[in-house]
Amino acid sequence: MSGLGVQRDLQEAAALERRRQRELERQGRIFNARVRTIGIDKDALDAQVKDRKIQEATEKARNEELANEMKQNDKMMCMLEERQKYSIRNINKAVSDFQKNFQKPETRREFDLSDPQGLKKDRPARLSDNDPRCTVSGLQKFMGEDLNYAQRMKFQKEQLREWSLQQQRDCKNALADEKFLDDLHDKNRIELDRKTMEQQQIEQETRRAVCAATKDFNRSQAAELAERKKLDKHQKMKDDMDEISSLLQGDLLSENPEQAISSFGTHRVITDRWKGMNQDQLMAIRSFQQQQVLEKLRLKEEERQRDAEWDRQSMQAARAQLILERHQERQNRERRQALDSINAQLSQEQKSKDMKLLSLVCQYMGPDKDRAKEQKEAYSS
């Protein structure tokens, strides 16, 4: 029971401490003028702004990386396209040269069909009745006129026999060439195997000789290395002394301005050796800046004058347009007045003609004379 009571006391003390801590935090928020005036959690907003900036920077870096990768891919594609165009151009050139040198039009079998000199070289359609060119489709010889049938058949058989013999000779030559190539390939393979075996033997002997020479060389190198280390140590000490004396007397510690001049030109300097510009260089920069200021003022003045001239020309054009419109309105008004006067005159003449006509009608109408007068008075009114 005593243990449970102690544990309950501890829990109540912890709860009391938590309430006290929350009350202190609430008082801090209440009595804090900045938080009370703003009415929001500024720390959380600052954290959000910071996270947003980090996210924007990360996204910007990723976009730049993607842009650089796209540029690299575009360059590679351009290079591949150029290489492909170059290859296609070379292939087309080779094909054109081959056709020009080995596929001339006059060497083709059907060149006689499109020969521009064919009409000059051609013979008449029929020289005689025994002309072998008088075929059935030529309409130079009809049924019953085949006088050279025997000679033609004999010639065709002889031609077929020659073609068959030529094909047999070509087949024999092809077989002989194939056999010769096979024999030559076998001989080359045997010779290559023999040379390979000899090369392996020579390499083994060379390797043994190299191993022996390497051992002797390593022994001599070990002795030379020990001697060289001794000499290097002595030389290093001497070089260190020379370097110390060179630094003490060199341009770096003496601040010689010529030491900052770069090897790429006198207009470039080495930043870790540069001691600043001299008065002449500063005066030259100030003079150049003053010239730039004067040039900018001159350009602004020219631009102002140009704008003023443009405004003046625009006003003149507008004034001229206004004068032209007023002149046209005055002409239209005068034209309308002249047209109105002409119309009034014509109306007056028409009315006078109508009055004369009515007066004549009144003279000749008789009993309807009063009615005619009424019509005349109505018309005149």
What is the distance between the alpha carbons of residues 81 and 347, in angstroms, rounded to a whole number?
Answer: 88
pLDDT value of position 85:
92
Q: Is 140 exposed, middle or buried (0-12, 13-18, 19+ CB in 10 A)?
A: middle
Q: Where are the domains of the chain?
A: 2-82, 279-380
Is the whole model's pTM more than 0.75, yes or no?
Answer: no
**Amino acid letter at 72?**
Q
Q: Dihedral sign, CA of 280, 286, 290, 292?
A: positive
Q: What Rg, from alpha-carbon coordinates, does the chain have?
A: 59
CB 252 within 8 A of CB 273: yes
CB 271 within 8 A of CB 259: no
Q: Classify residue 103 by its DSSP letter.
A: -
Helical packing angle, 279-365 and 369-380, nearest 10°: 170
**Which of 79, 101, 97 shows the shortest CA–CA distance to 89?**
97
pLDDT value of position 301:
93
CB 36 within 8 A of CB 29: yes
The helix/strand/coil state of 39 is coil
pLDDT value of position 91:
92
pLDDT value of position 141:
63
CB 359 within 8 A of CB 370: no
CA angle 109, 113, 115 (to 5 degrees): 95
CA angle 305, 310, 313 (to 5 degrees): 125
Q: Classify residue 124 by its DSSP letter.
A: P
Buried b / exposed e across 187-221, counting CB within 10 Å, b at 16+? eeeeeeeeeeeeeeeeeeeeeeeeeeeeeeeeeee
CB 150 within 8 A of CB 163: no
β-bridge mates for residue 261, sequence order:
269
- Going from the C-alpha of 70 to that of each of 60, 62, 168, 183, the distances in angstroms are 15, 12, 64, 57
> 28 Cβ partners below 8 Å, 6+ apart?
none
Retrieve residue 176's tokens: 């002989």
**Amino acid letter at 24?**
L
Q: Which helix (H) or strand (E) holds 269?
A: strand 265-269
What is the distance between the alpha carbons of residues 139 and 145, in angstroms, rounded to a whole number?
Answer: 11
**Which of 180, 201, 179, 199 shows the shortest CA–CA distance to 191?**
199
Mean pLDDT by 10 residues, the chain (381 residues): 70 89 81 64 78 89 90 89 91 89 80 78 68 67 64 88 90 89 86 85 86 84 86 87 76 64 70 72 88 93 91 89 90 89 87 80 58 56 54
